[in-house]
Structure 1
């Protein structure tokens, strides 16, 4: 059995993925999405930009031959090469051994090879079996921060390297997106790495398939997503409920609340004594379970309280009152690449109820340098309707208006009054009702209500890929796809707002 650094990284992110990569039915695995492929390309390009700053040597060996790769890497280390790129480190032993000063309990697993592929091995003064030098493992990551999983992998590199050069390096290094060098604290991370490796091996050796858990932030880009989601749907797994995080699910399991029916019948007070369910979260989660279990819309509690000098008085607050049926209404949606702070499309649907007309305006930066131009085009349009409410979904549009106003030194009178006109439809719906859905994202809500996108596969991540491809190829059909998707987003927001308005009647 081979245990690799990539497996270790995968296991930390999702133990089920690490299991399926070994034992899963490959026919159930999806092809990587365009956005995932973009992330891989971006990571590779960033790595190349860093590598080009070094005078390095690569080990020469037949592709895929790990033994030959290890020998070729050791040869370069013996020669004292300053920087080694794409080295292969491997221990053909039954255990990971720590240096004496860092000894912890070893786990003996027969017939296991530990393999790591650090991006760089950088020579430093020291004392190893090769001479008066040692090597430090260095990974290059397209990340703004030194995530724990990267540090654990760095400790894995260091441990294997320590066995090979007979001297544990003092640190492992990460070069991050900002080109900042981060040094991993091995005293902290080695023991964590050892524990994680033990759990990974036990899972693989005992063929223990981890429980499915759908995480909305991580799972959508995984090639096993559809397979896992199908399992979760069959089981009616609680991770499909909005508000059930992994930490909250652990609490629910400890309380033996592992299915929809039991959770829907739970007294929220029994949950709110746990920190994970405090501040009304327990009520929301139980209500969400009830909504899905009974397949119905549930009105949230609108009664709030207001403290005075002598007493606490109930006040009536109805978020639906924000949805004013104005003569003219604007529906606003942005397409952006947040990683590089570029907003390349402002779409505005103008609904004129006086004349029963709907017109979509698109302000598109065909070149990233046109961001300022389309920002002013957007301002010109919205000020043609100075009292029209501007409906949007989630808070990104408000944040963007503030960012662009600051970036382009826009006079206060042109942008600040807009903030009072913005109405976040997502905020209104989540403050008002509970729906029997998996997520309160725009698509989930609109599709539950019966709205459909013309391109079912279109989404924000795909839009980013289309825009990147447009810049490279000049293929205008890609811009058409982006515009169609953005227009549908505006109409979906309009669709939800109209439904909510009728719900309030």
Structure 2
């Protein structure tokens, strides 16, 4: 069989590879949809009319043939272009001044879509093969005879991947039939019936709405091929109790599949709809291609009384009138909700309001989109959330068995041509039945809202109803009571009615016991105030009033840490002139309830930050090692105190970072009260700072790196792409992904070959780095190999493998930022430095296993940045804290002295 690729096959492959396969190899041609027949009829009518006008204006017109082509007339018509295994039809070829020809094609619609452009590109490609030179431009003429000009230069980049795939089909001795993947184009496809039947037979995942080939492929890699198999993946998940933000509303395909398998309605959220005595139901019919709204249907329910109002427009001239009639009726029912389904009605109302300048925002505010009450919240046992499917499930019917949005376009076309009343009646009936279906759906939501607990066909997704009997429930509750007996805290929490019996927890409330201070090791008398703070009078009179403060502290000894208790005391000074008395200034340096000195706080902070110990473990260590018993609230207080003390240290680190020729950045999620926040790290391998943000938006990166002139080294998170500075992407991340995909796709030969090309490029570069370091002098010679790699493997190269195509786009996008280290001295090719710095956070997160709070986390990050800076500079964080120094650059760790033998 002589198989040729036509423009119809090419555009079919763009929409659905299976359709292209059936057009090429199947004897069955299917049933062309009435809508497609109308478009074809409109196209031929427009083409005929255009040719008639052309023949009146120009006489140098010939029908296309090879001999006529050699004579170079001004116009060639009805061209059937055939070369190799390609065939394209073109209505008109117009000669240009370069003795070349430009193609003109016709379409049966008012607007031009992507498939029309593909058709024109394919015609231009075939014509170029015949003439030996490509046309510069082509023309598309719509149903109104309006011609639009399109550049064809460089168009091969768009259609060549499609054409190459089709040509590979022709070269294969055995071609496997593409799987059924239903999509939005199926409604008008000539093979729609047989494909849907096959999909139902196979229980295809594509039966579910919004399932793309990519999603199907992802599930197939996990061994999930059917809707039934997918349904078993759903697992109820409880929302975190501390989460302050509601989860994003998304559609769960697994739950949809479960609903289909069980035949139940599943609730993620209860309906929030509030019914009223009077309600309006709206459905609008239009011609999107012409931007015309010709039928506005309004169903009014007042108690048991129902009235339907259709507002019909013969053409665009009547549209304004039906809009005003609609507004008049709606105004009779103020503050009444207007129910609609989907976003089409909202867009139509906004368009009409703007078009006729009625400025009726009140109507827009009253619109209630019922789809929002269902999407991601209520799962009916149907394949999609389209109104027809949902309403059919709950019992709605339509007079016309083929009633649909596409069919309404067909009826409107027939009415435009004939003005027969039967088509107008069909459209009004269809619109009215849509309104009734919407009303039925609203009633179903109300039924679910008030009766979900007792309805057998309704269940809760996250907390399924218990099917246990009354006797079983009694046994279950008794077992639960036994389990509570085993609780560690049960004895403390239980209420006792025995006289004189007191629980172990002791009395609640009352005064907080004061801390018993240990006996001081030494006493230090501090001097009194020299002069009056108010008037400067001197000398002050020494008073008998004495003030003291006992401070527990730790100091670094020769072989460890030593606890000391110091009592500071002094006498007040009295100003005879102002009659004021002043305590010793040294004692004013201590806070009101301060018991611990800088050394003790340093030890606590080190345990928390450097050793990552939980709070209770730190308290236990303090008690066992130093006989100090504290409340757990003191540790966050110490952290806050030190974060403020070392604020200027963080500022100095930030300044040093911004002076660096490069900065590494990375981020990780961090739970704050059950909600995911993000921690960001900035480092150059010597200085480190951390920042906390509520979202993953890169605003903080923009703020810190504003006016930064160095190189930013990061992973491939797209948020970093907007940072206005030079960048180097992490090759470690890229290589990990390449290896992962190689393991998961062992039979993708094209991908394996692509990996070899990358290996041949990057291995010599890495060997040079290992031998000579990150020096431009040795690395810039590889710029030529990089350019060759892009010419031979990336630019203008077409791949069949989706995986290779993905990485091809990846390399195109990050061409400059993948090889910045080749062009500059000392720029790292990986982001391991940032990952190592932020790994501490991940470990702390896993150790704590609890949610943090915002302010303590920010304090923790300030100190962690200082700790990591000390680590990268090989300085003791422990001794730095004890030294009370705030400038890391000035601090020098005490060197260990060598012992004499």
TM-score tier (shorter):
0.7 to 0.9
| Correspondence for 2:382 | 437
User: CA 1:281–1:20 in structure 2 vs 1: closer, same or farther (change >3 Å)?
Assistant: farther
1:89-238 equivalence runs, <5 A: 89-91=81-83, 93=84, 113-126=85-98, 133-141=99-107, 142=109, 144=111, 147=114, 149-150=115-116, 153-165=119-131, 167-171=132-136, 173-175=138-140, 177=142, 179-184=147-152, 185-186=154-155, 188-189=157-158, 191-192=160-161, 194-202=163-171, 206-215=174-183, 217-238=184-205
Looking at structure 2, the residues matched to 118 and 280 of structure 1 have their Cα atoms a distance apart, in angstroms, of 50
How many positions carry a matched residue from both structures? Answer: 430
Looking at structure 1, the residues matched to 166 and 3 of structure 2 have their Cα atoms a distance apart, in angstroms, of 12
Looking at structure 2, the residues matched to 135 and 11 of structure 1 have their Cα atoms a distance apart, in angstroms, of 27
Looking at structure 1, the residues matched to 319 and 261 of structure 2 have their Cα atoms a distance apart, in angstroms, of 46
Looking at structure 2, the residues matched to 388 and 418 of structure 1 have their Cα atoms a distance apart, in angstroms, of 10
Displacement, 1:438? 1.5
Relative to structure 2, which stretch is displaced further, 174-183 or 471-480?
174-183
Contact in 1 for aligned 2:62/2:68 (Cα 8 Å): yes
**Aligned partner (choices 66, 79, 85) of residue 71 of structure 2:** 79
Looking at structure 2, the residues matched to 378 and 398 of structure 1 have their Cα atoms a distance apart, in angstroms, of 14
| Correspondence for 1:244 | 211
Looking at structure 2, the residues matched to 190 and 360 of structure 1 have their Cα atoms a distance apart, in angstroms, of 49
Contact in 2 for aligned 1:155/1:172 (Cα 8 Å): no
Looking at structure 1, the residues matched to 218 and 52 of structure 2 have their Cα atoms a distance apart, in angstroms, of 49
Displacement, 1:337? 1.0
Contact in 2 for aligned 1:136/1:173 (Cα 8 Å): yes
Contact in 2 for aligned 1:59/1:86 (Cα 8 Å): no
Over aligned residue pairs, what C-alpha RMSD do you find?
2.8
| Correspondence for 2:36 | 36
Q: Deviations over 1:125-180 (max 9, x none)?
A: 44xxxxxx222334344474562x55555454344433433x22254524264632
Looking at structure 2, the residues matched to 347 and 479 of structure 1 have their Cα atoms a distance apart, in angstroms, of 13
Looking at structure 1, the residues matched to 214 and 141 of structure 2 have their Cα atoms a distance apart, in angstroms, of 28
Displacement, 1:292? 1.9
Displacement, 1:366? 3.5
Relative to structure 2, which stretch is displaced further, 495-504 or 389-398?
389-398
Looking at structure 2, the residues matched to 226 and 190 of structure 1 have their Cα atoms a distance apart, in angstroms, of 28
**Aligned partner (choices 245, 256, 264) of residue 223 of structure 2:** 256
* 1:392 correspondence with 2:364: no
Q: Deviations over 1:395-419 (max 9, x none)?
A: 2222222211221221x3xx21122
User: CA 1:375–1:198 in structure 2 vs 1: closer, same or farther (change >3 Å)?
Assistant: same
Contact in 1 for aligned 2:234/2:258 (Cα 8 Å): no
| Correspondence for 2:368 | 423
Displacement, 1:487? 0.7
Looking at structure 2, the residues matched to 390 and 241 of structure 1 have their Cα atoms a distance apart, in angstroms, of 29
Looking at structure 1, the residues matched to 351 and 128 of structure 2 have their Cα atoms a distance apart, in angstroms, of 48
**Aligned partner (choices 4, 7, 12) of residue 5 of structure 1:** 7
Looking at structure 2, the residues matched to 343 and 150 of structure 1 have their Cα atoms a distance apart, in angstroms, of 25
User: CA 1:381–1:431 in structure 2 vs 1: closer, same or farther (change >3 Å)?
Assistant: farther
SS for the counterpart of 1:486 is: helix
Relative to structure 2, which stretch is displaced further, 49-58 or 177-186?
49-58
Looking at structure 2, the residues matched to 117 and 212 of structure 1 have their Cα atoms a distance apart, in angstroms, of 29
User: CA 1:288–1:399 in structure 2 vs 1: closer, same or farther (change >3 Å)?
Assistant: same
Q: Deviations over 1:173-215 (max 9, x none)?
A: 2426463211122453574355133234247x63532111111
User: CA 1:36–1:496 in structure 2 vs 1: closer, same or farther (change >3 Å)?
Assistant: same
Looking at structure 1, the residues matched to 426 and 138 of structure 2 have their Cα atoms a distance apart, in angstroms, of 42
User: CA 1:44–1:56 in structure 2 vs 1: closer, same or farther (change >3 Å)?
Assistant: farther
SS for the counterpart of 1:119 is: strand
* 1:331 correspondence with 2:303: no
| Correspondence for 1:471 | 416
* 1:446 correspondence with 2:396: no
Looking at structure 2, the residues matched to 395 and 421 of structure 1 have their Cα atoms a distance apart, in angstroms, of 14
User: CA 1:50–1:494 in structure 2 vs 1: closer, same or farther (change >3 Å)?
Assistant: same
Higher relative contact order (CA 8 A, sep 6+): 1
* 1:499 correspondence with 2:500: no
User: CA 1:427–1:186 in structure 2 vs 1: closer, same or farther (change >3 Å)?
Assistant: closer
1:299-378 equivalence runs, <5 A: 299-300=267-268, 302=269, 320-321=271-272, 323-353=273-303, 356-378=304-326
Looking at structure 2, the residues matched to 162 and 477 of structure 1 have their Cα atoms a distance apart, in angstroms, of 50
Relative to structure 2, which stretch is displaced further, 226-235 or 285-294?
285-294
Contact in 2 for aligned 1:337/1:464 (Cα 8 Å): yes
User: CA 1:283–1:372 in structure 2 vs 1: closer, same or farther (change >3 Å)?
Assistant: closer
SS for the counterpart of 1:330 is: strand
SS for the counterpart of 2:296 is: strand
SS for the counterpart of 1:440 is: coil
Q: Deviations over 1:338-378 (max 9, x none)?
A: 2112111111111111xx21111111124442211111111
Contact in 2 for aligned 1:138/1:172 (Cα 8 Å): no
Looking at structure 2, the residues matched to 253 and 284 of structure 1 have their Cα atoms a distance apart, in angstroms, of 17
User: CA 1:114–1:406 in structure 2 vs 1: closer, same or farther (change >3 Å)?
Assistant: closer
Contact in 2 for aligned 1:151/1:189 (Cα 8 Å): no
Q: Deviations over 1:28-57 (max 9, x none)?
A: 823x33322222233334444555564477
Contact in 2 for aligned 1:8/1:200 (Cα 8 Å): no
Looking at structure 2, the residues matched to 464 and 114 of structure 1 have their Cα atoms a distance apart, in angstroms, of 34
For normalisation by structure 1, the TM-score amounts to 0.77
Looking at structure 2, the residues matched to 384 and 57 of structure 1 have their Cα atoms a distance apart, in angstroms, of 65
Displacement, 1:381? 0.9
SS for the counterpart of 2:333 is: coil
User: CA 1:461–1:6 in structure 2 vs 1: closer, same or farther (change >3 Å)?
Assistant: closer
Looking at structure 2, the residues matched to 21 and 404 of structure 1 have their Cα atoms a distance apart, in angstroms, of 42
